[in-house]
Amino acid sequence: MSLLASYTVIGGKASEDLAKKIAKKLKAKYLKSELRIFPDGESKITISGKPNGKIVIVQSTYPPVDSNLIQALSLVSKAKKYSSQVVAVIPYLGYARQDKEFLPGELVTMSIIANIFKTAGATKVIVVDIHSKMALNHFKITARNVSAIPELVKYFKKLNLKDPLVVSPDCGGITRARDFANQFGVKFIALDKHRDKKNGMVQIRSKNQKQVKGRDLILVDDMISTGGSIVKAAEFLKKQKCRNIYAACTHALLIGDAEKRIRKAGVSKIISTNTIPGKTGLVDVSPIIAKAIV
Ligand code: R5P
């Protein structure tokens, strides 16, 4: 890794641990940010010390999405006062699913957010496994997506799985599942999922999948939010008499009782990355982010 440039990494409150790990990999100065939330919900941020060199802001925008987003933008704007080069690392980028007008009248909020990052002063944006590449196209600055699949695959290779098969819960995830399966050295299938665009309800429309019988399955997705997609897929696969089901995702939002419902549906283990802190975040993405920065 070339270390010709000097870096300062500033960790937003949503991504402190990951930011420290990235700073270590870059042999960079690390600056902490202090956060106070005012009674009305406003974020008040203070950074300790002066950044120098290229500045890297690290802040995922998981819930509370808008607060974490405004904190990321404020940090970028502050960094711009010290450096002409500000890299915004947003490992989990909220709003990436709102990348086009699905139903008439819907706003494409991803596009607004992409513009604000540029206006705030970011010269480059780095995200991990963005929901769709289309979301990246809204950025008018360099925007790079890094894939956590190789890191997730490394983790799964250490597990002693029986005749593993990779499963995508929907056809939209075929490329992801294919990449995972190819790197793992196994086959993959995709289920036919339908989500009602008005109420968000999920349905699996696949017919019998005899090839899953007696096998360990890895359900691969970019993110688990409410768990609806994984729950429906797991319930379907259990009926097909598979052996164990593992859920692998980059971003585990696990809203509400998602984890409990996923386990109840028959998933033995959820493995995610540390783009979102939590107990399922066993796979560290700091090495791939550090590589994308330099
Ligand atoms: C959908 O296309 C995504 O890849 C995920 O499957 C989805 O966003 C997960 O959301 P939930 O956990 O609420 O079903």
* pLDDT tens by residue, 85-130: 999 999 999 999 999 999 999 999 999 999 999 999 999 999 999 9
The structure tokens listed for 259 are 């984890």
pLDDT surpassing 50 at residue 2: no
Domain range annotation of the chain:
2-147+285-293, 149-274
* Ligand 1 centroid to residue 231 C-alpha, Å: 11
- Closest atom of ligand 1 relative to the 173 alpha carbon: 4
pLDDT surpassing 90 at residue 264: yes
Topology match between the domains 2-147+285-293 and 149-274? yes
Give the pLDDT of residue 83.
97
Average pLDDT score over residue span 241-264: 98
Q: What positions carry a catalytic annotation?
A: 193
CATH architecture of 149-274: 3-Layer(aba) Sandwich (3.40)
CB 150 near ligand 1, within 6 Å = no
Q: What is the 3-state secondary structure (H, E, C) of the chain?
A: CCCCCCEEEEECHHHHHHHHHHHHHHCCEEEEEEEEECCCCCEEEEECCCCCCEEEEECCCCCCHHHHHHHHHHHHHHHHCCCCCEEEEECCCCCCCCCCCCCCCCCCHHHHHHHHHHHHCCCEEEEECCCCHHHHCCCCCEEEEECCHHHHHHHHHCCCCCCCEEEECCHHHHHHHHHHHHHHCCCEEECCEEECCCCCCEEECCCCCHHHCCCCEEEEEEEECCCHHHHHHHHHHHHCCCCCEEEEEEEECCCCCHHHHHHHCCEEEEEEECCCCCCCEEECCHHHHHHHHC
pLDDT surpassing 80 at residue 3: no
* Cα dihedral: 72, 78, 84, 86 (round 10): -20
Report the candidate in 60, 10, 56 with the shortest Cα–Cα distance to residue 31: 10
pLDDT surpassing 80 at residue 1: no
Using most ligand atoms within 8 A of CB, pick from 202, 224, 267 the residue to mutate for ligand 1: 224
CB 229 near ligand 1, within 6 Å = yes
Give the pLDDT of residue 207.
85
pLDDT surpassing 90 at residue 173: yes
* Ligand 1 centroid to residue 149 C-alpha, Å: 17
CB 272 near ligand 1, within 6 Å = no
CATH number of the structural domain 2-147+285-293: 3.40.50.2020
Q: Whose CA is nearest to atom 10 of ligand 1?
A: 225
Give the pLDDT of residue 4.
58
- Do residues 104 and 73 make contact, with C-beta atoms less than 8 angstroms apart? no
* Ligand 1 centroid to residue 225 C-alpha, Å: 6
What count of Cα atoms within 13 Å lies in the side-chain half-sphere of residue 8? 24
What does the mean pLDDT of the chain come to? 96
* Ligand 1 centroid to residue 135 C-alpha, Å: 15
Picking from 64-78, 157-171, 187-201, which range would have the lowest pLDDT averaged per residue? 187-201
Instruction: Write out pLDDT tens, residues 45-93.
Output: 999 899 999 999 999 999 999 999 999 999 999 999 999 999 999 999 9
